[in-house]
């Protein structure tokens, strides 16, 4: 079965850290560029970060730049999102996705998503 599975979400206090994982099964992850997206309640899903197939290129939304780090271990078929200095406004469901096509800005749009994971909830609260 071809799927992406996110894990690592949870409840964390402001200023804390989490590491999200996105594991691929049924296919080889290094064939794809990967994006992390998030969707907060009542808001549209937005791109958070991007990584190229072999990790040489990464991009971040301005809201997370300097706090989040995307990486991948193709040998483990996994992409990671290290999130530090978390803020309440980072609260959302986080999704990883394989990407297709091209886009004009640094971050992909939801229209560039080939397949989604099921999402993992991140809640930043004291």
> pLDDT tens per residue, the chain (126 residues)?
779 999 999 999 999 999 999 999 999 999 999 999 999 999 999 999 999 999 999 999 999 999 999 999 999 999 999 999 999 999 999 999 999 988 988 899 999 999 999 999 999 999
Residues 86-121 as b or e (16 or more Cβ within 10 Å = b) = beeebbbbbbbbbbeeeeeeebbbeebbeebbebbe
């Amino acid at each position: 079965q071809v799927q992406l599975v996110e894990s690592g979400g949870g409840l964390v206090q402001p200023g804390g850290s989490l590491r999200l994982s996105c594991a691929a099964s049924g296919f080889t992850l290094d064939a794809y560029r990967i994006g992390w997206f998030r969707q907060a309640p009542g808001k549209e899903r937005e791109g958070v970060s991007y990584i190229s197939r072999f990790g040489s290129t990464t991009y971040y939304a301005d809201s997370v730049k300097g706090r989040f780090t995307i990486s991948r271990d193709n040998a483990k078929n996994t992409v990671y999102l290290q999130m530090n200095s978390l803020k309440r406004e980072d609260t959302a469901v986080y999704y990883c996705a394989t990407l297709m096509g091209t886009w004009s800005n640094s971050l992909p749009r939801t229209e560039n998503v080939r397949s989604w994971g099921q999402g993992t909830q991140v809640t930043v609260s004291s």
